[in-house]
Amino acid sequence: MGFFSKDSKIKKLVKKAEFDELRKRHFEGEVIVPEIIDLLADKDSSVCINAGGALLVIGEKDPKAVRGAIPRLISLLEDKRGHVRGPAAATLGGIGGVIDPGVMREAISRLISLLEDKDGGVRVHAAKALGMIGEKDPEAVRGAIPKLISLLEDEDEYFGWLVRGRAALALGMIGEKDPMAVRGAIPKLISLLEDKGRYVGDYVRGHAADALGTIGARDPEAVRRAIPRLIGLLEDKDGSVRGNAAQALGMIGVVEALEELRGLLSDSAEFAETTVGEVAREAIEVIEKKAS
């Protein structure tokens, strides 16, 4: 894995996900970023993933420090091992969220290609990465939108539900600033509100609701056809889906959902760092404010 010792202190910290300690060492002047970049290609998949996480933690406060990692990360997108390609894609997405997207032009092109990777896990990471970049600059990832829409129908035996959910979330992130760019995804996002795919259909339904809410906050008319199904999801068996649906209806400003949302006020199911009931309460307040 390069010229660094497999028993180095930095590798041990990366393996244990000691991100705070790694960040501290970096800002105290210790040169650790090159070794962390080298660890992205480690044979241990957990080390690869954590190395990407460490770069992101450092990059949040010091984007220039991790900018030099971009060429290496791009090269790792061609690695034969999926557990290397995936974290490399995820790390590029995180870096792309904090630096000028213009620097990411080649990386974005490669990430778009990875949306067709044979490894479902890699497709998940690529979709997530493009969503993170697109949230900052939708125009930079416009070329990814058709492929992301196609991934809403991904049927991989093991990763399909994750791919569909991540693609939905990415489209919502891109659509937050440019809803017109993702209008073509809306019919498929609506269909995903009824996803009952193998393993975790609720993950897909929740992310589809989230995406429609994000798009609808800027362009309510574009998601009008989704409203009956979003209201129906307020009775979903899964608390996270109910929470996402309530949040989406609030973002869109759906007055006709007020009665159903009031029925959720006592819902104590956990959602994010609060409860579904609290999300419903906030949604009601937003709708009433928009309507006044």
CA distance 197 to 204: 8
Residue 1 binned pLDDT confidence (cut-offs 50, 70, 90): very low
Has residue 102 got a pLDDT over 80?
A: no
Average pLDDT over residues 138-146: 97
CA distance 110 to 117: 11
CA atoms within 13 A on the CB side of 164: 31
Model pLDDT, residue 120? 97
What are the residues facing 247 on neighbouring strands? none
Has residue 91 got a pLDDT over 50?
A: yes
Dihedrals phi, psi of 40, to nearest 5 degrees: -60, -20
What are the residues facing 270 on neighbouring strands? 275
> With the C-alpha atoms ordered 268, 270, 276, 278, is the resulting torsion angle positive or negative?
positive
Model pLDDT, residue 198? 64
Q: Single out the residue of 49, 110, 112 nearest to residue 81, CA to CA.
A: 49
Has residue 2 got a pLDDT over 70?
A: no
Has residue 278 got a pLDDT over 90?
A: yes
User: Which residue intervals of 28-182 are DSSP H helices?
Assistant: 33-39, 45-61, 63-67, 70-76, 82-96, 105-114, 120-136, 145-151, 160-175
Has residue 8 got a pLDDT over 70?
A: yes
Q: Report the predicted TM-score, pTM, of the whole model to 2 decimal places.
A: 0.91
CA distance 284 to 257: 9
Model pLDDT, residue 99? 82
Model pLDDT, residue 199? 63
pLDDT in tens, 156-176: 989 999 999 999 999 999 999
CB 114 within 8 A of CB 122: yes
- % the chain with pLDDT above 90: 83
